[in-house]
Chains A and B, each alone.
Chain A
Amino acid sequence: MTRARAALGLAAALLLGPALAGCASDADAAGGGTPELTAEGAYIPRPPTAELAGGFLTIENTGDADDALTSVTSEAADSVEIHTTEGGTMHQADALLVPAGGELRLAHGGSHLMIMGLDSRPAEGDTVPIQLHFEKSPAISLEVPVRPATYTGE
């Protein structure tokens, strides 16, 4: 177990950078397993303008291999970035680990999607199409509901 965890930690560190090494789970990423991903609880708080919206969701991995969220796209926006937040500042991330048997949470106060240049300012009840792209798994398409601006998933 310790060796497997150490090996995974190293793999994660090489793949995703040291910040994510703490996210390692017990699965052996180097083995021949398969990640199995589902996206849950996605929402976009209604943004003040079309220029910039946040997006939140949880990606669960019930498989036995790690995966990584590598990019996000939307046909309704100019671009979508994946951001991590530390203190009061946020940084764009290249990829975020979705650990085997675990999950990647993009939640208020932590990591989020930054959706830029929407075609128009969405209203509550609208949906915004996004596609999640992964290192290993096929892309997941979502119609993300727009919630009240004060919604935090709680």
Chain B
Amino acid sequence: MHLRKITLTALALVTAAALAGCGGDGEDTADAGQSPAAQVEGGTAPDEGTVLDTPFDKPDLVLTDTNGESYDFAEQTAGHATLLYFGYTNCPDVCPLTMSNIATAARSLTAEQRADLRVVFVTTDPERDTPESLGAWLRAQGPDFTGLTGDFDTIQAAARSLGVYIEPSYTDDNGDIVSTHGTQVLAFLPTDDKAHVVYTEGVTQETFARDLPRLLEGELP
């Protein structure tokens, strides 16, 4: 029955217009209702980090880690190359992809380098992400990753100080809880504890694998 013909190959077809809202074969598709989720401004390739002209200071951020203990971000990560991402676990696409890209890249480091690296995931949905649920979700991706939850206003203020804009979770017309994740990973250097590089959503594990050894040495990618 030809209507039910199923092809599981042709993966390449998924790629080119992957971010287009809908396909169609006419010129109408240019004004399709959806916009790309990942946008990079300033001409940097979407799969590369962007070096900031003015690096960000570490935010004053004390939250609760996945062991239920207090975690002072600036204090715990001082002198270590640190990646920071704001997301939530009830997110099936970008959040786990981002953390898995970092986890896969980190596996290519030496044990010494891995021990030196800090990867911190801060939830944007603290009402649903408890230390327990966040811990299970994060450990499945990177056993050494730190997950933080706490007061949303504190998280939002810290994110904003880094150019990451998130909104509180709300319930939409369908009765679904809608949360926001950040669209970038910030890389802090061990030398001055400032964020010098921003990685947006198009960045792959290869980019992280190439850049992490340099970041660990305090060098820009």
**Interface set of A (CB-CB < 8 Å, partner B):** 5, 18-26, 36-43, 45, 47-49, 52-58, 60, 81, 83-92, 96-97, 99, 101-105, 107-115, 121, 137-138, 140-142, 145, 148-150, 152-154
List which B26-57 residues lie within 8 A (CB) of chain A. Answer: 26, 28-29, 31-38
Residues on the A chain within 8 Å of B166, using CB: 88
> Is B3 at the interface (CB under 8 A from chain A)?
yes
Is chain B's interface secondary structure helix, strand, loop, or mixed overall? loop
- Looking at the complex, which one of A19, A25, A52, A86 makes contact with B24 (CB distance below 8 Å)? A25
Q: How far does the Cβ of B100 sit from chain A's closest Cβ, in whole Å?
A: 4
- Are A25 and B25 in contact, CB atoms less than 8 angstroms apart? yes
- Number of cross-chain contacts by CB at 8 Å: 205
- Looking at the complex, which one of B6, B11, B174 makes contact with A39 (CB distance below 8 Å)? B6
Additional A-B contacts beyond A22-B28, A47-B96 (7; CB < 8 A) = A20-B22, A88-B183, A89-B178, A91-B178, A107-B18, A109-B19, A121-B140
**Complex CA–CA separation, A81 to B175 (angstroms):** 13
- Looking at the complex, which one of A26, A43, A49, A109 makes contact with B93 (CB distance below 8 Å)? A109
- Looking at the complex, which one of A41, A55, A105 makes contact with B8 (CB distance below 8 Å)? A41
Residues on the B chain within 8 Å of A140, using CB: 4, 6
- Are A58 and B140 in contact, CB atoms less than 8 angstroms apart? no
**Complex CA–CA separation, A144 to B91 (angstroms):** 19
- Looking at the complex, which one of B14, B92, B179 makes contact with A47 (CB distance below 8 Å)? B92
**Complex CA–CA separation, A118 to B9 (angstroms):** 24
- Are B10 and A109 in contact, CB atoms less than 8 angstroms apart? no
- Are A23 and B182 in contact, CB atoms less than 8 angstroms apart? no
Residues on the B chain within 8 Å of A40, using CB: 7-10, 13-14
**Complex CA–CA separation, A81 to B94 (angstroms):** 17
Q: How far does the Cβ of B124 sit from chain A's closest Cβ, in whole Å?
A: 8
**Complex CA–CA separation, A148 to B205 (angstroms):** 12
Q: How far does the Cβ of A13 sit from chain B's closest Cβ, in whole Å?
A: 11
- Are B92 and A112 in contact, CB atoms less than 8 angstroms apart? yes
**Complex CA–CA separation, A5 to B28 (angstroms):** 10
Residues on the A chain within 8 Å of B64, using CB: none
- Are A99 and B38 in contact, CB atoms less than 8 angstroms apart? no
- Are B6 and A107 in contact, CB atoms less than 8 angstroms apart? no
Q: How far does the Cβ of B163 sit from chain A's closest Cβ, in whole Å?
A: 13
- Are A90 and B178 in contact, CB atoms less than 8 angstroms apart? yes
- Are A149 and B100 in contact, CB atoms less than 8 angstroms apart? yes
Identify the 10 closest CB pairs spanning chains A and B, nearest first: A54-B92, A103-B23, A149-B100, A102-B24, A23-B22, A48-B140, A153-B14, A109-B37, A107-B18, A88-B180
